[in-house]
Structure 1
Amino acid sequence: MYYYLKALHIIFVVTWFAGMFYMPRLFIYATEAGEQQPEARDILRSQFAVMMKRLWYGITWPSAVLTLIFGTTVLLKGDWDMIVFQPGGRWLLIKLLLVAGLYFYHFTLHHIFQQQMKGVFRYSSQQLRVWNEVATIFLIAIVMLVTVKESMSMVWGLAGLILFIIVLMSAIKIYKGIREKKNS
Structure 2
Amino acid sequence: MYEYVKALHIIFIVTWFSGMFYIVRLFIYNTEAGDKAEVEKNILRNQFNIMIKRLWLGITFPSAILTLIFGGWMFYLYGVFPQWLMVKLAFVAGLYVYHFSLHKIYIQQMKGVFKYSSTQLRIWNEVATIFLISIVMLVVVKQSISLLWGTVGLALTMILLMSAIKIYKAMRK
| Normalised-by-shorter TM-score class | over 0.9
Deviation beyond 3 Å, 4+ runs, structure 1? none
Cα distance in 2 for partners of 1:97, 1:76 equals: 17
Unaligned runs of 5+ in 1: 84-88
Match of 1:158 in 2: 151
Cα distance in 2 for partners of 1:150, 1:158 equals: 15
Deviation at 1:90, TM superposition (A): 1.7
Deviation at 1:119, TM superposition (A): 0.3
Match of 1:90 in 2: 83
Cα distance in 2 for partners of 1:78, 1:174 equals: 44
TM-score by length of 1: 0.93
Aligned residue identity for 1:95: K
Deviation at 1:138, TM superposition (A): 0.3
Match of 1:144 in 2: 137
Deviation at 1:17, TM superposition (A): 0.3
Cα distance in 1 for partners of 2:57, 2:5 equals: 23
The count of corresponding residues between Structure 1 and Structure 2 is 173
Whose Rg is larger?
Answer: 1
- Paired residue secondary structure (1:47): helix
Cα distance in 2 for partners of 1:91, 1:78 equals: 14
Q: Which of 95, 102, 105 is the aligned partner of 1:109?
A: 102
Cα distance in 1 for partners of 2:143, 2:6 equals: 21
Match of 1:122 in 2: 115
- Paired residue secondary structure (2:36): coil
Cα distance in 2 for partners of 1:104, 1:115 equals: 17
Cα distance in 2 for partners of 1:141, 1:113 equals: 25
Deviation at 1:178, TM superposition (A): 1.1
Q: CA RMSD in A?
A: 0.6
Unaligned runs of 5+ in 2: none
Match of 1:24 in 2: 24
Does 1:178 pair with 2:162? no
